[in-house]
Amino acid sequence: MLDLYKLSIFVQVAEQGSFSRAAEHLYITQSGVSQHIQELEASLGVRLFLRERRGVTPTASGHLLLDYATTILSLASEAEQVVADLAHSDQTHLNIGATPGVSTYLLPEWLDQFQRSYPDLSVSVQTATTEHVAHELAHDHLNLGFVEGEFDESRYAELAYVKLQDVEQVIVVGHTHRWRDYESVQLAELHAQALVVRQAQSQTRAWLDQLFQQHGIQPRIVAELDNLELIKRMVMRGQCFAIMPAYAVRHEQERGLLHVIPVRDSPMQRTLKLVWKHSSSRSPVVRAFLRIVHKQFPHTHLPPY
CATH numbers and ranges of domains, the chain:
4-87 (1.10.10.10), 93-164+271-296 (3.40.190.10), 166-269 (3.40.190.290)
Comparison of pLDDT for 305 and 16, the residue scoring more: 16
Is the pLDDT at 237 greater than 70? The verdict is: yes
Across the range 291-302, mean pLDDT stands at 86
- pLDDT above 70 covers a percentage of the chain that reads 94
| Predicted local distance difference test score (pLDDT) of residue 202 | 86
pTM of the model: 0.70
Is the pLDDT at 84 greater than 60? The verdict is: no
Where does the pLDDT of residue 304 fall: very low under 50, low under 70, confident under 90, or very high at 90 and above? low
Mean pLDDT estimate for the chain: 90
| Predicted local distance difference test score (pLDDT) of residue 178 | 93
Across the range 24-43, mean pLDDT stands at 91
The string of pLDDT tens digits covering residues 254-266 is 999 999 998 888 8
| Predicted local distance difference test score (pLDDT) of residue 85 | 61
Please tell me the distance from the alpha carbon of residue 33 to that of residue 5, in angstroms, as a whole number.
11
Where does the pLDDT of residue 287 fall: very low under 50, low under 70, confident under 90, or very high at 90 and above? confident
Is the pLDDT at 79 greater than 70? The verdict is: no
Where does the pLDDT of residue 153 fall: very low under 50, low under 70, confident under 90, or very high at 90 and above? confident
Across the range 189-194, mean pLDDT stands at 96
Is the pLDDT at 99 greater than 70? The verdict is: yes
| Predicted local distance difference test score (pLDDT) of residue 260 | 95
Across the range 256-285, mean pLDDT stands at 88
Where does the pLDDT of residue 124 fall: very low under 50, low under 70, confident under 90, or very high at 90 and above? very high
| Predicted local distance difference test score (pLDDT) of residue 231 | 96
Query: Would you list the DSSP string of 58-126?
Result: E-HHHHHHHHHHHHHHHHHHHHHHHHHHHHT-S--EEEEEE-HHHHHHTHHHHHHHHHHH-TT-EEEEE
Which residues are within 8 A (CB) of 259 and not within 5 positions of it... i.e. 6 or more apart? 172, 173, 174, 175, 177, 179, 180, 181, 182, 253
Is the pLDDT at 102 greater than 80? The verdict is: yes
Which residue pairs, CB below 8 angstroms and at least 24 apart, start in 250-258? 252/172, 257/174, 258/172, 258/173, 258/174, 258/232
Across the range 28-56, mean pLDDT stands at 91
Please tell me the distance from the alpha carbon of residue 38 to that of residue 49, in angstroms, as a whole number.
10
